[in-house]
Structure 1
Amino acid sequence: LYVVKSLEANRLYRNDGGDSFTDVASQVGVADTGDGSGAAWADYDGDGDLDLYVTNFGQPNRLYRNEGGTFREQGMLAGVDDVGDAYGAAWADTDNDGDPDLYIANFGPNVFFRNLGNGTFEEVAGALGIADSSSGIQPVFADFDNDQDQDLFVANSGPNRLWWNNGDGTFEDGSTAFVPLDGGASTGAAVGDFNNDGFLDLYVPYFGNNRLYQNQDGEGFTDVGRSRGVADPENGRGAVWGDFDNDGLLDLFITNRDTENKIFRNLGGDSQFLEVGETFGVNTSADSRGVALADFDGDGGLDMFVAIQNSPDQLFRNQEAEGNWLTVLPKGSDSSFDAIGARIEIVYNRTQRRIREITGGTSFLSQDALSAPFGLGEALSVDTLSIRWPSGTLQRFSPEDVGINRVITIVEEAPLPPVEVQIETTGDILVANGTAQTDVTVTLFNNLAEIALVSDRLITFSLDVGGGALDVSGPTIVDGKASARFTAGTLPGATPLSILVSGLPTQRVLLTLLPRLSGTDATLETIAGTGNGGFSGDGDLATEANFNTPRDVAVDASGNVYIADSANNRIRHLNPTDSTIATVAGTGVAGSGTVFDGEALDANIADPRGMFFHPGGDLIVSESGGQRIRRITLAQGTTSAFAGSGFSGFSGDGGPATDANLTTPRGLTIDSFGNAYLTSLNTGNTPNVSTVRLIKNDQISTVAGDPLQLFPNEDGVQGTKSRLNGANGVAVDGDGNLYIAEIGGHRIRRVDPYGIITTFAGTGAPGSSGDGGPARFLELNGPQDVAFDPAGRLFISDSQNNRVVAIELETGLAQTVAGTGRSGSNGNRGNALELNLDEPGGLTVAPDGSVVIADAGNNRVVRLRMLFQSDAPTVEPPPIDPGSGEARADFNGDGIVDFLDFLPFAEAFGSTSATYDLDNDGLVGFSDFLTFTNAFGRANSSNPAFTGIPRWARR
């Protein structure tokens, strides 16, 4: 620990262990007696040990070169013995050449010394436009915009300054990035990601109200100090971020002049910080100045040294660090040994990400230890640890390499070279509609089957044949990966995509573009409702009856259609034999409270929304307005309670379903074991905080959703530890996966049989793009319901987009199958893609494979009949004539000309290979390509492998 003094000898305290330190400054040659200001460590000469720079006021600054245990002053020889009345200094490798550069804040023009790599420096502040003259106090380097170079903030007696690093050793003024504009005067700065969004935030002490500048995704900063409760109004000096209680959240310590120092504890989320200085025992009232952090006793708790003017300095041992922890001590090789500018990221508990960056000077004339301490709370392991070095090298470590409750030293190592290329696509089957997209991701692997974290290798993506366009991530591999987004053309067929990585064999992937659905593939017809709102028509044809916002439908094994006529508070039956309509339950008057046994036609049903058939044939109905689920025994025309007390709220887990409180129950479904699932759109009185509950053996429990709002809305966790935003329709597939339509979340969530929740479709933002591509790219807008067909397709009523979408589970392909996207009605029969739907709600798959849809806004029920591209009968092309040149295109001799033959043909293109020269003109060229294209997908009957069994369409 080095401590700078004013007009007396500086101290270098050697840590002797066991709570004792010894001042060895005089012994090792660093007991400078000038009017000291600050100090910062770095390995400026690249010899693997830390050198020391000391700033002085009115006297030359000092550069002490470490010579293996003793120091030699080299300021004049190195050209950094500035006499500009210096305050703070900070090191950073701003041009990524492996040598740390040095910025000094002066009472006058600031200076910036570029390290020339030979033990000397060149002053270039003026040339770079960063020689500010506003009486600088403390410079701080950090990568604020996540572009892998060090930006510069300077706390000034005048307006504070920010310069963005352009990545080539030059800077651009970014001082207008602060909202409100930062006019100073300030005394220091602390850098840390307090809200764990992956961007470094900035805390600035002032002679007055301090500011907490929250980073806005690398685009600028917004002051949130007052809203977060950390706009301390005292005379601030230094500040540091540190996870003092090891709970995974960065807390904040502030030194003040002649008033109490403070610690603000980070409570997480959007909460204000809690001031706990007195509780933590650090609320010293003195002329406190600099502050620096280090775990001096190695127990995992961040300790703190505070420099005090005209009083003894203070060293605080941490007594509050109760959580698990990990400290990373990085050592550079291609980068500077000090690792200044290295960024360390850990992931724990699957989704918790934390970053730290090694700084070369911060706070007020101070510098923290050159290590990265992390609090882990109750986590028992770290999932991954990554370190990005200033050289650009990335290293990644697994839980077995890392451990917890320890200090781990990581030495920078170049990655092993790649030996293999692997390709993944978001989906390799698209619709040829001109807009469908898929991502193609290329990953390089080394000989240990690990990702080869190399960068700067050239990569080329090219379409060999077929329509479409590519948007490539860049010309080079970055951290072992590269990607391209493919946009389909309008021509159906096979589209091979070639990927060439420098030094590795060419790889290819085959994308299949399906034809768009036609008017004969998808037809829609009205089966109930005139389109006019109201109630009428019982006993007459269903198409002559009036409905009032029908919200759901259910079809039994005989084809009887039951309709939740929601705003009429009735359940109505469409007879498939004579197409007449009749009411089977409900008086038309909404009711509430406990459901009593009785006649179904005498029941006061309130806003029926969800329905399913129980194995015994009873119809189960959710009453969104009655806070209950009702059983209708159709054979006897009676009704009884199935779930819900009739009173709103959230209660009853672990007990009888009929005793549970529900709030606005909506979706209903049943699995193959007879277990029922229901959604509550609102839990208690909280809008859009939803749950999915299971009824098994008449007992109720929660399987998804967070009614107490203890957890964020995230994927990859237990379903009960993630919020649901407006859960409505539900469905269960044959493997036991539960699908949930989130109206407010604009997506479909999936809970697997192990209870883990993920997003299956939708981006989370309302929209309508992504049609014809992978479900992952599909944008939804207020989806209301989901249903499965026997072929493994999930149908979604995308209500606010006025359409129905189908997703094939096997391929992930999502495409619109009904609706134009416009509301209203423009016909009752015809092409499903040319007829309007208006806020389609509940839907179900009938025994004949058709999809019955409650077209709520049009006050009708419609039936959709589909013939998907994969359902169409295969028309085999004729076999290849054995005597033609096309027969030679079966290069691998398996009896079929397919993609396996295309791979070597593409490799040989442009060569003189006789094997692939199909027209015998001496060159494998375009004429041969036309011959191959004509043979592609056809059987080669002249080959013994040909059996007459069609194989051309195999994937």
Structure 2
Amino acid sequence: MKKIIMLLLFFALTGAVNAQVSFTAVPISTTGAERAAVDMNGDFLDDLVSVTATNIQIHYQQTDGSFIETNIATPPVANTPSWSLAAADFDKNGFADLLYGGANGVTFMKAKNNGTSYEEISFPEYVFSQRSNFVDINNDGHLDAFVCHDVAPSVYYINNGDGTFTFHQGDIGDYPTGGNYGSVWIDYDNDGDMDVFIAKCNVNGDVNERSENQIYQNDGAGNFIEVGDATGLKDEMQTWSATWADFDNDGFLDVFVGSSDSNFTHKLNRNNGDGTFTDISATTGIHALTITGIENCSYDFNNDGYVDIASNGNILLNNGDLTFTLVPLALPNNNGSFGDLNNDGFIDSFTGGNVYYNNANANHWITINTIGVESNINGIGARITISSDMGTQIREVRSGEGFKYMSTLNTHFGLGTNTTISNITISWPSGIVDILEDVAVDQVLSVVEGSTVLGLNENLANPLILYPNPTQDILNLGDLNHFTNPAFTIYDVQGKKVMAAKVDLNTIDVSNLATGKYILKIYDNNHSKSQRFIRK
């Protein structure tokens, strides 16, 4: 009887843990390959993207969590995203552009300045595309593109700053016969520049040099040095993707390498903080997950302050002590694209004609949107660090994670029961550092690069703009009593300063601005607040 009671208690406790994360499927009509949950029109709400050779379907998310469907016809494109899709605003016009990784080559779909039509840019070189990413490889402020090549050295496209790219091959992921499947750009050594990890595989299951995972260290001078052996990450296994996150909140990125072959187990490698990694898989509980596959991503699904792992529809729930509890088949086995699809502060999924809404809990959260000025406009490559009563968490802004899908560019943190954030530090690719202090929880912040001063007390608990928003001419401001002789600056979506003056009578006349989206910043010597608005 005692054994039966103990078993019942065990299953009850296990059920309670598993119940912490679940999803509800809601159908949505899609056309073509469902590939992305990402902001397409610059309002920082994650939209849903499905594509065919002649159509881009976008379900634009509204502030109430509903969607408005738009279909944008295109001439037949040379390559479709049969293997992967990445998204980012590479020409800084306020609208996301797309990269299609096809079986025979690479196509860029460049959003025109109206956001309602696209221009195709295709390259003639043969590329058997796998994972694709947007990233500023040479850190010149312009987003480049990287594409894994299955049967030859990987390729990359350097942004010339005028809406065109220059093709390169080799140097990064340069094994002669390829085997490059899942690239993810990260700063594993905390030196402020982007390194890249490439998950590798042999389709026939052989384990040899072609299937050895690679990591390239950026020396900060434009050179990438392969250090897989030195770091301890040169595993001979079969994998199509790996996911990087700080799973123990110690300030260093760790890596979960997902096996794609049942003959190999998943691996969790802990960053030792000295440029090396230790395989800690055996003590973490991840081997409870025996299902293998190609899709691996990491988010804090239950907002408890510890990053979880989504692996082929299963969730490894982080217990906060470098152990994980398996929540089996919480999502379809391809994971899908991740984002906040009803703007409630919890991460959802989009795949298979459904939005899988996270059945949220009472935990707190914050989402941070990055707007680059000297850096690329999306802030890709920026590192965000937050400090609260539970300690320190880090995230990076990335385009292209997992294997096939594109997920949100917005940076999401779970906060557990914490009700305040001591500070937020954003370290931009340019080297600029923004710091916000005493920040309220359960909100979305948009931060323009360089818009804060180190040490400012930035508390965004109350709105700046009372009404109207959108506006045609006058912004009426809220209570500014805690400011002394405040001034204001307005930035456009490209991070450019378009207006600046002293605040007069708690109103600002924006009638001379062009229609579009802006960020208003009010500040004095001690305080600063920012808020988005629309000039219609």
Counterparts in 2 of 1:124 and 1:220: CA distance versus 1, 3 Å:
farther
What is the match of residue 475 of structure 2?
Answer: none
Shift of 1:116: 2.2
Shift of 1:162: 0.8
Letter in 1 for 2:433: L
The partner residue of 2:374 within 328, 331, 334 is 334
| Structure 1 Cα separation of the partners of residues 195 and 83 of structure 2 | 23
The partner residue of 2:429 within 377, 390, 394 is 390
SS in 1 for 2:132: strand
The partner residue of 1:69 within 115, 135, 148 is 115
What is the match of residue 141 of structure 2?
Answer: 98
Contact 1:240-1:292 at 8 Å conserved across structures: no
The partner residue of 1:52 within 95, 98, 113 is 98
What is the match of residue 167 of structure 2?
Answer: 123
Contact 2:182-2:240 at 8 Å conserved across structures: yes
Q: Which runs of 5+ in 2 are unaligned?
A: 1-36, 38-47, 202-210, 456-484, 486-536
Letter in 2 for 1:403: A
What is the match of residue 241 of structure 1?
Answer: 298
2:250 matches 1:197: yes
The partner residue of 2:316 within 246, 259, 264 is 264
Counterparts in 2 of 1:26 and 1:46: CA distance versus 1, 3 Å:
closer
SS in 1 for 2:229: helix
| Structure 2 Cα separation of the partners of residues 274 and 331 of structure 1 | 36
Contact 2:107-2:120 at 8 Å conserved across structures: no
Letter in 2 for 1:146: N
Shift of 1:217: 0.7
| Structure 2 Cα separation of the partners of residues 183 and 315 of structure 1 | 36
Q: How does 1:294-305 map to 2 (within 5 A)?
A: 294-305=339-350
Q: How does 1:413-812 map to 2 (within 5 A)?
A: 413=450
| Structure 2 Cα separation of the partners of residues 408 and 82 of structure 1 | 41
Which shows bigger deviation, 203-212 or 67-76? 67-76
Contact 1:37-1:365 at 8 Å conserved across structures: yes
The partner residue of 1:251 within 304, 308, 311 is 308
Counterparts in 2 of 1:51 and 1:162: CA distance versus 1, 3 Å:
same
| Structure 2 Cα separation of the partners of residues 215 and 87 of structure 1 | 26
2:337 matches 1:292: yes
Q: How does 1:300-339 map to 2 (within 5 A)?
A: 300-306=345-351, 312-339=352-379
SS in 2 for 1:176: helix
What is the match of residue 108 of structure 1?
Answer: 151
Letter in 2 for 1:302: I
Write the deviation string for residues 256-275 of structure 1: whole angstroms up to 9, x where unpaired.
xxxxx3111111124x2111
Contact 1:25-1:31 at 8 Å conserved across structures: no
What is the match of residue 286 of structure 2?
Answer: 230
Shift of 1:11: 3.8
Contact 1:155-1:186 at 8 Å conserved across structures: yes
| Structure 2 Cα separation of the partners of residues 142 and 253 of structure 1 | 18
Q: How many residue pairs end up in the alignment?
A: 396
SS in 2 for 1:226: helix
Write the deviation string for residues 36-60 of structure 1: whole angstroms up to 9, x where unpaired.
2211112212334321111111355
| Structure 1 Cα separation of the partners of residues 427 and 294 of structure 2 | 31
Shift of 1:32: 8.2
Write the deviation string for residues 845-869 of structure 1: whole angstroms up to 9, x where unpaired.
xxxxxxxxxxxxxxxxxxxxxxxxx
Write the deviation string for residues 641-695 of structure 1: whole angstroms up to 9, x where unpaired.
xxxxxxxxxxxxxxxxxxxxxxxxxxxxxxxxxxxxxxxxxxxxxxxxxxxxxxx
| Structure 2 Cα separation of the partners of residues 254 and 340 of structure 1 | 24
| Structure 2 Cα separation of the partners of residues 131 and 178 of structure 1 | 18
Write the deviation string for residues 47-78 of structure 1: whole angstroms up to 9, x where unpaired.
343211111113553332342312333424xx
Letter in 1 for 2:272: Q
Which shows bigger deviation, 312-321 or 89-98? 312-321
Contact 2:81-2:100 at 8 Å conserved across structures: no
| Structure 1 Cα separation of the partners of residues 71 and 297 of structure 2 | 26
Contact 2:258-2:266 at 8 Å conserved across structures: yes
| Structure 2 Cα separation of the partners of residues 28 and 118 of structure 1 | 22
The partner residue of 1:357 within 396, 401, 410 is 396
Letter in 2 for 1:360: S
Write the deviation string for residues 718-767 of structure 1: whole angstroms up to 9, x where unpaired.
xxxxxxxxxxxxxxxxxxxxxxxxxxxxxxxxxxxxxxxxxxxxxxxxxx
Contact 2:79-2:104 at 8 Å conserved across structures: no
The Cα RMSD (Å) is 2.8
What is the match of residue 40 of structure 2?
Answer: none
Q: TM-score, normalised by structure 1?
A: 0.39
| Structure 2 Cα separation of the partners of residues 202 and 55 of structure 1 | 24
What is the match of residue 227 of structure 2?
Answer: 174
Letter in 1 for 2:293: G
Counterparts in 2 of 1:19 and 1:47: CA distance versus 1, 3 Å:
closer
SS in 2 for 1:84: coil
| Structure 2 Cα separation of the partners of residues 8 and 234 of structure 1 | 36
What is the match of residue 155 of structure 1?
Answer: 199
Letter in 1 for 2:416: G
The partner residue of 2:327 within 253, 271, 276 is 276
2:389 matches 1:345: no
SS in 1 for 2:294: strand
What is the match of residue 847 of structure 1?
Answer: none
SS in 2 for 1:344: strand
Contact 1:290-1:364 at 8 Å conserved across structures: no
Counterparts in 2 of 1:175 and 1:416: CA distance versus 1, 3 Å:
same
Contact 2:366-2:441 at 8 Å conserved across structures: yes
| Structure 1 Cα separation of the partners of residues 186 and 315 of structure 2 | 23
Contact 1:331-1:337 at 8 Å conserved across structures: yes
| Structure 2 Cα separation of the partners of residues 215 and 376 of structure 1 | 23
Write the deviation string for residues 337-392 of structure 1: whole angstroms up to 9, x where unpaired.
1110111111011x610111001111112232111111111111100111011111
The partner residue of 2:273 within 217, 220, 224 is 217
2:128 matches 1:89: no
